[in-house]
Amino acid sequence: MNINKAVITAAGSNQRNLPLQTLIDRDGTEKPVLAIIVEETLRAGVEEICVVVQPGDEKPYSEVAGEHAARLQFVHQSEPLGYGHAIYSARDFVSGDPFLHLVGDHLFISRHEKGCAQQVVEVAEAENCAVSAVQATRESLLPYFGTVGGQRIQGRPDLYRIETVIEKPSPTVAEQQLIVPGLRAGYYLCLYGIHVLTPGIFDILESLLATSNQPIGVTLSDASSELAKHEQYLALEKDDWRYDIGVKYGLMNAQLALSLSGSDRDEVLSNLLELLAQRELGAARKLDTN
């Protein structure tokens, strides 16, 4: 399996401005989030990139993409019919090939030499099947993630065979259907936001979109769960960092994480310490004078 195409989704109504935000990357240069995600994709050796956007968003996206603008293709999600529909919108772009998929509102920071997406792509190519990155996540965070249930593959401590995927399960459902042997009690494998999917996903999405009457539309989890019934589908457990920039303080946390794992680490650390010292010492002095 060769993976040459990537689909980045950025059409969600709460999500569409996030890739346009600017951060200082690990190399100390100022970059829009979109650029950082595109570089993650390129690091994985995937060069044909499609961004799913709302109609009219391609212009600002092209503008912030800078040097990468030329390689980006834009696909419209014409109606807000959910996450599954956003991916389905890229069907023509993918055109029957396996593809890498990243969400546009997350940043991924690898602890290792290889990039996060790169690791997923390598496993998918080696195993010749769909792979989703997952992370062991405490059950109190289940309301935020799609969660997989499956079995560990012998001899591969980080690989699981996915049997089912449920979007934002209640802990009750998770405990009944998603317990994975080997994880600590109360922890589940939650989707990480990086997937290599096979083209079979589009047929599944098509049939789900035709029958769904859910208010949130069809989720990728619904489709992935079906995919696992039809073909081998693996989960790669990751210990890297992933930041949801769409939540409260998400962008700030992502920035701090980038800075602390990059070339400006010492400078940022000392700035932080100085800030803390000034605030705390200032408060202590104020107390003294009172």
Q: Applying CB under 8 A, which part among 40-48, 52-60, 163-171, 199-207 lies near other proteins? A: 163-171
What are phi and psi for residue 267, nearest 5 degrees? -65, -45
What are the Cα distances from residue 208, in Å, to 3, 91, 196?
Answer: 25, 15, 20
* Closer by beta carbon to other proteins, 112 or else 138: 138
13 interacts with other proteins by CB under 8 A: no
Burial 38-75 (b: 16+ CB within 10 A, else e): bbbbbebbbebbbbbbbeebbebbbebbeebeeebebb
* Beta-ladder partners of 57: none
CB 257 within 8 A of CB 109: yes
Nearest to other proteins of 175, 264 (CB atom): 175
CB of 140 to other proteins, least distance (A): 4
Cα–Cα distance for residue pair 108/11, rounded to 1 Å: 19
Measured from the CB atom, is 163 or 175 closer to other proteins?
175
CB of residue 215 vs other proteins: minimum separation in angstroms? Answer: 8
Query: Which residue, among 264, 261, 263, has the nearest Cα to 111 in the 3D structure?
Result: 261
Residue spans of alpha helices (H) in 28-130: 33-43, 58-65, 83-88, 91-94, 116-127
Fill in the per-residue mask, 106 to 145: x = in contact with other proteins (CB under 8 A), - = not in contact.
Answer: --------------------------------xxxxxx--
Token pair recorded at residue 261: 């794992």
Binding mask 175-214 for other proteins (x = CB under 8 A): xx--x-----xx----------------------------
Kindly give, in sequence order, each residue whose CB lies less than 8 Å from that of residue 78, ignoring residues fewer than 6 positions away: 55, 89
Shortest distance, CB of residue 172 to other proteins, whole angstroms? 4
Cβ 129 to other proteins shortest distance, Å: 27
Q: Which is nearer to other proteins, 78 or 170 (CB)?
A: 170
Least gap, CB of 142 to other proteins (angstroms)? 5
Q: Which of 173, 256, 260, 268 binds other proteins (CB under 8 A)?
A: 173
The number of angstroms, rounded, from the C-alpha of 105 to the middle of its chain's C-alpha atoms is 7
Shortest spacing between CB 253 and other proteins, in angstroms: 17
Task: Number of residues interacting with other proteins: please give it, by CB under 8 A.
Answer: 18
State which amino acid sits at residue 214: Q
The total of other beta-carbon atoms located within 10 Å of residue 215's CB is 6
CB 164 within 8 A of CB 150: yes
* Binds other proteins (CB under 8 A): choice among 39, 163, 164, 171: 171
CB of 186 to other proteins, least distance (A): 6
Q: What is the token pair recorded at 181?
A: 């042997």
Min dist CB 138 to other proteins, Å, is 8
Q: Provide the binding-site residues for other proteins, judged by CB under 8 A.
A: 138-143, 168, 170-176, 179, 185-186, 215
